[in-house]
Amino acid sequence: MANLIEKLAESVPSWGAKLAYGERTTVDGHELVPVALVGFGFGGGEGSSEMPEGGGPGPAGMGVGEGRGGGGGGYAVPIGAYVGSADGLQFRPNRIALLVVAVPVITAVGLALGQVIRAFRGVPSS
Protein backbone atom coordinates (compact mmCIF):
# COMPACT_ATOMS: atom_id res chain seq x y z
CA MET A 1 0.00 0.00 0.00
CA ALA A 2 2.88 2.37 0.74
CA ASN A 3 4.09 1.96 -2.84
CA LEU A 4 0.67 3.05 -4.17
CA ILE A 5 0.68 6.16 -1.96
CA GLU A 6 4.20 7.07 -3.14
CA LYS A 7 3.11 6.76 -6.78
CA LEU A 8 0.06 8.98 -6.16
CA ALA A 9 2.18 11.57 -4.33
CA GLU A 10 4.68 11.70 -7.21
CA SER A 11 1.92 12.43 -9.75
CA VAL A 12 0.16 15.18 -7.73
CA PRO A 13 2.04 18.16 -9.25
CA SER A 14 1.04 17.13 -12.77
CA TRP A 15 -2.66 16.86 -11.84
CA GLY A 16 -3.10 20.49 -10.73
CA ALA A 17 -2.23 22.19 -14.02
CA LYS A 18 -4.37 19.81 -16.05
CA LEU A 19 -7.42 20.12 -13.82
CA ALA A 20 -7.39 23.87 -13.13
CA TYR A 21 -7.83 24.86 -16.78
CA GLY A 22 -10.19 23.06 -19.15
CA GLU A 23 -9.69 22.49 -22.83
CA ARG A 24 -10.10 25.46 -25.17
CA THR A 25 -13.52 25.45 -26.84
CA THR A 26 -15.43 27.76 -29.17
CA VAL A 27 -18.92 29.00 -28.21
CA ASP A 28 -20.82 31.43 -30.47
CA GLY A 29 -17.60 32.33 -32.27
CA HIS A 30 -15.70 33.13 -29.06
CA GLU A 31 -12.86 30.99 -27.81
CA LEU A 32 -12.92 30.24 -24.11
CA VAL A 33 -10.89 28.33 -21.55
CA PRO A 34 -12.81 27.28 -18.41
CA VAL A 35 -11.07 27.82 -15.06
CA ALA A 36 -11.84 25.87 -11.88
CA LEU A 37 -10.67 25.82 -8.30
CA VAL A 38 -9.61 22.22 -7.73
CA GLY A 39 -8.87 20.37 -4.52
CA PHE A 40 -8.32 16.74 -3.71
CA GLY A 41 -6.89 14.47 -1.10
CA PHE A 42 -6.19 10.85 -0.48
CA GLY A 43 -5.05 8.67 2.33
CA GLY A 44 -4.58 5.15 3.52
CA GLY A 45 -4.36 3.18 6.68
CA GLU A 46 -3.33 -0.14 8.05
CA GLY A 47 -3.82 -1.85 11.36
CA SER A 48 -3.17 -5.00 13.29
CA SER A 49 -3.87 -6.46 16.68
CA GLU A 50 -1.97 -8.68 19.00
CA MET A 51 -3.74 -11.45 20.80
CA PRO A 52 -3.93 -10.61 24.49
CA GLU A 53 -2.75 -13.13 27.04
CA GLY A 54 -5.35 -15.74 27.81
CA GLY A 55 -7.11 -15.33 24.48
CA GLY A 56 -9.11 -12.53 23.05
CA PRO A 57 -12.63 -11.52 22.25
CA GLY A 58 -12.76 -13.44 18.96
CA PRO A 59 -14.23 -16.88 18.35
CA ALA A 60 -12.61 -19.70 20.32
CA GLY A 61 -10.39 -17.24 22.22
CA MET A 62 -8.59 -15.98 19.13
CA GLY A 63 -7.54 -12.35 18.83
CA VAL A 64 -9.35 -9.98 16.52
CA GLY A 65 -7.72 -7.39 14.34
CA GLU A 66 -5.97 -6.44 11.16
CA GLY A 67 -7.44 -4.00 8.76
CA ARG A 68 -6.57 -1.89 5.78
CA GLY A 69 -8.20 1.01 4.11
CA GLY A 70 -7.84 3.87 1.78
CA GLY A 71 -9.84 6.59 0.22
CA GLY A 72 -9.81 9.83 -1.58
CA GLY A 73 -11.95 12.60 -2.81
CA GLY A 74 -11.92 15.84 -4.64
CA TYR A 75 -13.90 18.78 -5.89
CA ALA A 76 -13.87 21.31 -8.69
CA VAL A 77 -15.63 24.69 -8.46
CA PRO A 78 -16.02 26.55 -11.76
CA ILE A 79 -14.78 30.06 -10.98
CA GLY A 80 -14.92 31.51 -14.49
CA ALA A 81 -13.40 31.40 -17.95
CA TYR A 82 -10.90 33.20 -20.12
CA VAL A 83 -12.90 34.48 -23.09
CA GLY A 84 -11.40 35.72 -26.34
CA SER A 85 -13.10 38.77 -27.88
CA ALA A 86 -12.26 41.78 -30.04
CA ASP A 87 -10.72 43.40 -26.93
CA GLY A 88 -8.38 40.44 -26.37
CA LEU A 89 -8.36 37.68 -23.80
CA GLN A 90 -10.37 38.54 -20.66
CA PHE A 91 -11.25 36.65 -17.51
CA ARG A 92 -15.01 36.49 -16.89
CA PRO A 93 -15.75 35.31 -13.34
CA ASN A 94 -18.58 33.04 -12.30
CA ARG A 95 -19.80 35.36 -9.54
CA ILE A 96 -21.98 32.81 -7.76
CA ALA A 97 -19.14 30.28 -7.51
CA LEU A 98 -16.75 33.00 -6.36
CA LEU A 99 -19.15 33.93 -3.55
CA VAL A 100 -19.54 30.29 -2.52
CA VAL A 101 -15.77 29.93 -2.32
CA ALA A 102 -15.03 33.38 -0.84
CA VAL A 103 -17.51 33.38 2.06
CA PRO A 104 -15.85 30.53 4.03
CA VAL A 105 -12.37 31.90 3.31
CA ILE A 106 -13.29 35.42 4.44
CA THR A 107 -15.03 34.00 7.54
CA ALA A 108 -11.95 31.95 8.49
CA VAL A 109 -9.64 34.94 7.96
CA GLY A 110 -11.92 37.14 10.06
CA LEU A 111 -12.06 34.63 12.92
CA ALA A 112 -8.28 34.16 12.84
CA LEU A 113 -7.69 37.91 12.81
CA GLY A 114 -10.02 38.27 15.82
CA GLN A 115 -8.00 35.67 17.72
CA VAL A 116 -4.73 37.44 16.89
CA ILE A 117 -6.12 40.79 18.09
CA ARG A 118 -7.39 39.18 21.32
CA ALA A 119 -3.97 37.59 21.88
CA PHE A 120 -2.23 40.96 21.56
CA ARG A 121 -4.69 42.63 23.90
CA GLY A 122 -4.33 39.84 26.46
CA VAL A 123 -8.06 39.06 26.46
CA PRO A 124 -8.79 35.35 27.05
CA SER A 125 -10.58 33.68 24.15
CA SER A 126 -13.98 32.09 24.74
Determine what percent of the chain falls in helix, strand and coil, rounding each to the nearest 5: 40, 35, 25
Q: What is the mean pLDDT of residues 101-105?
A: 86
| Of residues 74, 86, 88, 92, the one with CA closest to residue 38 | 74
CB atoms closer than 10 angstroms to residue 35: 19
pLDDT, position 110: 96
pLDDT in tens, 81-92: 999 877 888 999
For 61-82, how does the pLDDT look when each residue is reduced to its tens digit (9 = 90+)? Answer: 555 677 788 888 888 888 899 9
